[in-house]
C-alpha cells in the first residue's frame, strides 16, 4: 500500500462511496448526511485530475422527498456518466423505496432523477455486458418482509426489466456483478447474518450456482485483474469490523483476506479503479473518530 488518507469529512456523516475513471480523472461519489440513517442524505461528487492527490467538489445531488443512499457510478456504451442511487422516501403511504438514475455528459451538470426498476426493490449496482443487444444489468433486492434478490436486464438503465430471481432464502441484499470475457456472469452477494455467497451463471443468466464464501461481508465491490484473479473490497465482521481487500477463489468460492485498509467501526462500501498496476480505492471509516471518506492507492506487483 502506497498511501491511505482522509479526503473528505465536511458533513456530520460521510459514507457509502464509489469510484470511477472518467474523462482522464478520478470521480468519487458518497452520501452526506447528519447520521448513518437520516432523512437528509445527499450525494456529493468529487473529482481528482492528479491520481487522487487533490480533490474538488463538483456536484451535490439532493432530493426534497427522500434520503438518497448508496450512489454507484458507471459509464454507458455512449460514454455518458451514470449515477445510480436509492431514495428512502419520506412519504411511505404507497411505497418505501425507489431507485433512480441521473445522467451527465461531463460530470458537472446532471439530469433530473429518473425512477428505474420496481418500487421497493433496491437496485444496488449496474454492470455492462458489451456483446449483448441488451447490455445493461443490475441486481436489486426487495426491501421489506418478502425478501428476494432479482436480476434486471435492458438496453439502457431506463429500460431495465426483471430477468430472473437469483435468491430468496436468507436475507440477501447488497451485491457486486461482473462479466467475464466469455460472457459468464459472477455475483458476490451479501447475506445477513449469514456468510456471503459467490455465484456464477452462463447466458441467458436464468440459472445460477452458489457457493458459501466462508465469511460474513458487507458493501461488496470487486474487479477482475488482467490475470483473471478476483479481488474484492468488503467489510469483514469476525473479531474487529474492518475494510479489507480479499481474494475470491472462483473454483471453491472461498474468500481469503489479503490487505486490511486503515479502518474500523462504521466503515467499508468501497469503490475500486484499476489502471495499469495501480489500484485506487475509495471507502469510508470511523477509525479516526468522525465518519469520513478515505482514498487508498496500492501497487499490484508480481
Q: Is the pLDDT of residue 58 over 80?
A: yes
pLDDT value, residue 145: 80
pLDDT value, residue 72: 98
Chain centroid offset of residue 126 CA:
9
Collect all residues with Cβ–Cβ distance below 8 Å to 270 and sequence separation of at least 6.
17, 19, 219, 221, 233, 234, 243, 281, 282, 283
pLDDT grade for 136, boundaries at 50, 70 and 90:
very high
Residue range(s) defining the domain that contains residue 53: 3-299
pLDDT grade for 219, boundaries at 50, 70 and 90:
very high
The whole-angstrom separation of Cα 53 and Cα 48 is 7
DSSP codes joined into one string, 143-206 = -SSS--EEEEEESSGGG-EEEEEEE-SSEEEEEEEEE-TTS-EEEEEEEESSPPEEEEE-TT--
Cross-strand bridge partners of residue 98: 87
pLDDT value, residue 169: 83
Q: Which three cell numbers stand for residue 32?
A: 452526506
Q: Is the pLDDT of residue 144 over 90?
A: no
**Nearest residue to 69 via CA among 85, 84, 83, 82:** 85
Please provide the average confidence, as pLDDT, over all residues in the chain: 96
Total of domains in the chain: 1
For residues 300 and 12, the answer to whether their CB atoms sit within 8 Å is no
The whole-angstrom separation of Cα 131 and Cα 49 is 31
* CATH number reported for the structural domain that contains residue 87 in this entry: 2.120.10.10
pTM over 0.85: yes
Segment 157-203, tens digit of pLDDT = 999 999 999 998 889 999 999 999 999 999 999 999 999 999 999 99
Cross-strand bridge partners of residue 114: 101
pLDDT value, residue 38: 96
The whole-angstrom separation of Cα 9 and Cα 75 is 27
For residues 149 and 175, the answer to whether their CB atoms sit within 8 Å is yes
The whole-angstrom separation of Cα 278 and Cα 178 is 20
**Nearest residue to 127 via CA among 198, 67, 184, 209:** 184
Amino acid at each position: 500500500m502506497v498511501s491511505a488518507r482522509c479526503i473528505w469529512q465536511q458533513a456530520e456523516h460521510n459514507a457509502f462511496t464509489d469510484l470511477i475513471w472518467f474523462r482522464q480523472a478520478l470521480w468519487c461519489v458518497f452520501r452526506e448526511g447528519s447520521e448513518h440513517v437520516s432523512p437528509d442524505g445527499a450525494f456529493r461528487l468529487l473529482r481528482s485530475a492528479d491520481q487522487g492527490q487533490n480533490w474538488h467538489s463538483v456536484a451535490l445531488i439532493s432530493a426534497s422527498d427522500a434520503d438518497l443512499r448508496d450512489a454507484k457510478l458507471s459509464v454507458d456504451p455512449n460514454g455518458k456518466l451514470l449515477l445510480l442511487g436509492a431514495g428512502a422516501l419520506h412519504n411511505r403511504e404507497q411505497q418505501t423505496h425507489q431507485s433512480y438514475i441521473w445522467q451527465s455528459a461531463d460530470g458537472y451538470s446532471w439530469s433530473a432523477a429518473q425512477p428505474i426498476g420496481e418500487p421497493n426493490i433496491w437496485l444496488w449496482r449496474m454492470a455492462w455486458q458489451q456483446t449483448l443487444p441488451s447490455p445493461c444489468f443490475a441486481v436489486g433486492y426487495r426491501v421489506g418482509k418478502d425478501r428476494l434478490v432479482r436480476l434486471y436486464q435492458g438496453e439502457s438503465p431506463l429500460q431495465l426489466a426483471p430477468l430472473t430471481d437469483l435468491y430468496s432464502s436468507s436475507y440477501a441484499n447488497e451485491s457486486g456483478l461482473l462479466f467475464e470475457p466469455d460472457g459468464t456472469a459472477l455475483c458476490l452477494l451479501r447475506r445477513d447474518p449469514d456468510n456471503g455467497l459467490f455465484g456464477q451463471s452462463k447466458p441467458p443468466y436464468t440459472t445460477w450456482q452458489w457457493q458459501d464464501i466462508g465469511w460474513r461481508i458487507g458493501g461488496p465491490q470487486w474487479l477482475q485483474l488482467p490475470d483473471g484473479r478476483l479481488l474484492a473490497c468488503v467489510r469483514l465482521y469476525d473479531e474487529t469490523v474492518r475494510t479489507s481487500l480479499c481474494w475470491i477463489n472462483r473454483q471453491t468460492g472461498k474468500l481469503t483476506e489479503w490487505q486490511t485498509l486503515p479502518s474500523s467501526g462504521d466503515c467499508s462500501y468501497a469503490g475500486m479503479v484499476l489502471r495499469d498496476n495501480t489500484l485506487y480505492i475509495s471507502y469510508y471509516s470511523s477509525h479516526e473518530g468522525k465518519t469520513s471518506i478515505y482514498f487508498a492507492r496500492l501497487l499490484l506487483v508480481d
